Chain A
Amino acid sequence: MAKVHVATTINGDAVEFLCEADETLLDVLRDELHLTGSKEGCGSGDCGACSVMLDGRLVCACLVLGAELGGRAVETIENMADGEVLHPLQRKFLEHAALQCGVCTPGILVAAKALLDKNPEPSETEVRYWLAGNLCRCTGYDKIVRAVLDAAGEMRGELTHAE
């Protein structure tokens, strides 16, 4: 089967690649483009470890086909920091020890950023329901939720402190 040629934008860069018709966006990112920050925890849309932004929408990269990407724009965890300055969410995750093994972290950060872009002042419940598609087996979510709330506060310009 001939591969499909796709021209797209990834993290602001024009990118071209060839992929099989059944390869997912996640396969393309990880195997073709070597952007391995997005993780595969399930391949079925159930864990959120592969969360990326597609044309400004939060999606599971394992549920999108690579061949569908022509002319679209993808943002991944690799583009979350601004040069050497971490995004406030990234910093707050470190300050709150909101990761243990860290394999869920890229997906959760991408998802949390999508939340704060939409809703800069979420309640704890809103954070919990928004992140309900992102599994973390290590932390019990407590420190993740605190880090997101703290980052939101800082981004709104409120003075907060990490515990």
Chain B
Amino acid sequence: MPNDVKTGSLAPDKKLKWVGTRPLRPDGVDKVTGRAKFGADFSLPGMLIGKVLRSPHPHARIKSIDTSKAEVLPGVKAVVTRDDFHDMESEFVPAGEMLVNYRDMVRNVMAREKVLYDGHAVAAVAATSNAVAKRALKLIEVDYEPLPHVIDVLEAMEPDAPLLHEDMITAGVEPAPDKPSNVAKVVEFAIGDVEAGFAQAEVIVERTFQTKPVHQAYIEPHACVASVSEDGQAELWCTTQGHYVVRGHCARLLGMDVSKIRVTASEIGGGFGGKTVVYLEPLALALSAKACRPVKMVMSRDEVFRASGPTSGAHMRIKVGATKDGRITAAEADLKYQAGAFQGSPVQPGAMCAFAPYDLENVKVVGYDVVTNRPKVAAYRAPGAPISEYAVECVIDELARKLGLDPIDFRLANAAKEGTRAAYGPKFGPIGLVETLQEAKAHPHYTAPLGPDQGRGVASGFWFNIGGETCAALNINEDGTAALMIGTPDIGGSRASLCMMAAEELGIDLDRIRPIIADTSSLGYTFLTGGSRVTFASGMATIDAAQDAVRQLCERAAKIWEIPSDAVEWEDGYAKPAGANAGDFEPMSLAEVAKVAGKTGGPIVGHAQINAQGAGPSFGTHIVDVEVDRETGRVTVVRYTVVQDAGKAVHPAYVEGQYQGGAVQGIGWALNEEYIYGEDGRLENPGFLDYRIPVASDVPMIDTVIVEVPNPRHPYGVRGVGETPIVPPMAAITNALADALGIRFTELPMSPPKVLEAIGEAAAGG
């Protein structure tokens, strides 16, 4: 078996029937037959097609927009521009793993004073057909005054760089600068005294690194259908990681009551953080309100690349010092992250995560959030962490090799464990980094022989994981089946894991529980699918709702038996008298209690509304073997093993899937993917042909080891698993290349031309 589960010592003593097994997912048949409805699969009678006019300029002032010709084109029913959206106050509000600012958001969904990137929305139309909508876009006249642009993060920080926002004063520096710049914010974390720490070091490695923006590249483009009635009631169907969050943003941007917008999440064809924000949704609502007809909008792939996502590219300097016996004495990082056109890069989490896998006394991390003429970044799987940890894990590897230490042993000697105070503040509870390192070291992969031109690398990774506001409801049906209502869109099998936890609590068979993702008017506010929180937080809410239902089931049985309800207990799907004193009654099954619910007090519904706390941080360690083709510079990943702590794997097959998918996204980030801009500031590769994500023939099987160090704050020990797997691959592959070639790469992606050039230089120099 290539895939392995190592149960931790704290495993719950409860005998589990469902949790930890691999049943079929409840939504599976719909998804293998084409029946499942994704964002673009909805239609309504009388529906119009909406399309967006986008800026061809990376930076320009909008002098005027004339839509009159488009408006009179037969078939055009509505046109919207900046004039249809109110300006908003600058205000940061938390939105999951990132902060949002409505002043920026209203400008990102529709340009106001200026366009700030190639692809920035300038106007939108709704028409009776796709063809008419396209013709209408051509009739809109925008008078632009092109301005100088800046794409590179270091150039954007130059004093004479073109300014994106003439009023942006850097936050987080004392005293506040008196001149505006493209640096939105500076963040800093420090513990101990790095100067003193470096003075104790016997070996120091210091390097600078660069990464390029990469896109989440979900296969399903953004899509929605909005229908606003004459009295202002709105329905919205869309592909999103969080329909309650979409509702909130749309209500704010359009000045609508939250109660007037009902959002239904379609099936979602991938998001990876990129579907936590709004792009088309407010435009579709505005167009529909004007036209009084439903409006459907779907992005093309070109629009997805030019106007949504990606994550930051960065420029970083990392310095780490250690004693000869392998103890790290100090660590320092400068991180400069591109935010795209509006502030809000994930540099803060990047700075917090940079050294999180290590138990350090002296650390200093400074992060810069820098705006450039690119699309505003969106969250991407462990936002910020893969960038900073890539750089740090490369330096850790180099340091280990300089010290003559095995890179896993070096990490073990410095690894964060329970009680370690992380550089960003809190003390870790039980965490599984050491276990993942030990498992990696013991894995046959780690000692397998390598072929010619091959090299092996390892790297570790960390992500916080989050909890948050979550509701769940569990309707017990009259025939003893149940309907589970949850508010987190299912992006990768969470219906299965949540139903499994409900089945475990209720003591009934899994196939008696049907899940639905409830719309925003049917279930209370639930934060989005992100932060690896669904199995943890929606899991906790599901368990609470099931326990609430069980309490009611026991009360009903008590009523029937005419005994106090605390004299009834629930076991394996049956109400039973608790002990001999309670009386002698035949146990009643859930179905039997449910059948007579009408006579004992009415329907039985379990509810939970929680703010889930205590998400368990997650660590992983990856091993990779690469092979280099010295003639072409192509790097092939020939073997890959992911070892990660899941806390508890509710459905191990989907946990493995997260590990494997994250690793392969990381392989793409390491070797191929990048946003390429021309001199003119336009994106040159807005399609899958030139923005090349890994395909099946690029990668090997991805072996996995699931380590289970239970999270004590979750009833089954669950930690999030979805994000950490994308953190280690870039460094692991860089380290493997160093092993194969003796060359330390410090730039991503390590695409064939760059590798070939480095091999040539090394040959010339050596």
Contact = CB atoms under 8 A, between A and B. Distances in A.
28 contacts: A36-B34, A37-B33, A37-B34, A37-B35, A38-B34, A41-B221, A41-B688, A43-B300, A43-B301, A46-B689, A77-B34, A78-B34, A80-B32, A86-B33, A94-B24, A94-B32, A97-B657, A100-B657, A103-B270, A104-B219, A106-B32, A125-B697, A131-B695, A135-B219, A137-B216, A137-B693, A138-B492, A139-B661
B418 to A, nearest CB: 31
6 closest residue pairs by CB, A with B: A37-B34, A103-B269, A140-B664, A102-B31, A100-B492, A140-B660
A10 interface: no
B663 to A, nearest CB: 6
Interface stretch (A63-71, A141-149, A152-160): A141-149
Nearest to A40: B40
B131 interface: yes
B247 interface: no
B446 interface: no
Contacts of A140: 657, 660-665, 694, 699, 702
Given A44-B301, A97-B651, 7 more contacts: A46-B688, A93-B32, A100-B658, A101-B218, A101-B269, A103-B220, A128-B696
A34 interface: yes
A141 B699 contact: yes
Contacts of B663: 140
A93 B694 CA distance: 20
B272 interface: yes
B563 interface: no
Nearest to B216: A137
Nearest to B667: A140
Given A43-B301, A46-B688, A132-B697, A143 B29 contact: no
Interface string A96-136: 11011111111001000000000000001101110111111
Interface residues of B, number: 62
A44 B348 CA distance: 37
A101 B689 contact: no
Interface string A25-68: 00000110011111111111011010000000000000000000
B66 interface: no
B28 interface: yes
B437 interface: no
Nearest to A110: B34
A100 B661 contact: yes
Contact of B696 (A96, A101, A132): A132
A140 B667 CA distance: 10
A96 B22 CA distance: 9
A101 B28 contact: no
A96 B653 contact: yes
A136 B664 CA distance: 10
Contact of A137 (B22, B218, B300): B218
Contacts of B33: 37, 77-78, 80-81, 86, 90
A16 interface: no
A97 B687 CA distance: 28
Contacts of A40: 40, 221, 298
B36 interface: yes
B697 A39 contact: no
A38 B34 CA distance: 7
A99 to B, nearest CB: 6
Contact of A100 (B298, B654, B688): B654
B657 A39 contact: no
B31 A144 contact: no
Nearest to B298: A40
Contacts of B656: 97, 142-143
A97 B36 CA distance: 16
Contact of B701 (A80, A109, A136, A142): A142
Interface string B93-134: 000000000000000000000000000000000000001000
Contacts of B697: 125, 128-129, 131-132
B20 to A, nearest CB: 14
B695 A132 contact: yes
Contacts of A39: 38, 40, 219-220, 269
Interface in B23-75: 24-25, 27-29, 31-38, 40-41, 43
Interface string A76-94: 1110110000100010011
A31 to B, nearest CB: 8
Contacts of A133: 695
B43 A34 contact: yes
B660 A142 contact: yes
Contact of B301 (A42, A125, A134, A143): A42
Contacts of B695: 131-135, 141
Contact of B493 (A41, A100, A132): A100
A136 B661 CA distance: 9
A44 B688 contact: yes
Contacts of A132: 695-698
A144 B268 contact: no
A101 B270 contact: yes
A108 B485 CA distance: 30
Contacts of A41: 219-221, 269, 301, 688
Nearest to A42: B301
B259 interface: no
Contacts of B27: 102
Given A78-B34, A102-B31, A97 B654 contact: yes
A109 B32 CA distance: 8
B442 interface: no
B1 interface: yes
Nearest to A80: B33
A42 B660 contact: no
Nearest to A127: B696
Contacts of B21: none
B217 interface: yes
A101 B269 CA distance: 5
A138 B661 contact: yes
B409 to A, nearest CB: 29
B686 to A, nearest CB: 10
A100 B664 contact: no
A138 B663 CA distance: 10
B3 interface: yes
Contacts of B269: 39, 41, 101-104
B154 interface: no
B34 A76 contact: yes
A13 interface: no
A148 B148 CA distance: 52
Interface in B668-713: 687-689, 693-699, 701-702
Contacts of A124: 701
Nearest to B689: A46
A74 to B, nearest CB: 13
B251 interface: no
Contacts of B298: 40
Given A35-B34, A37-B35, A144 B696 contact: yes
Contacts of A125: 697
Nearest to B36: A102
A73 B198 CA distance: 72
A22 to B, nearest CB: 8
A44 B686 CA distance: 11
Given A44-B301, A97-B22, A128-B696, A49 B219 contact: yes
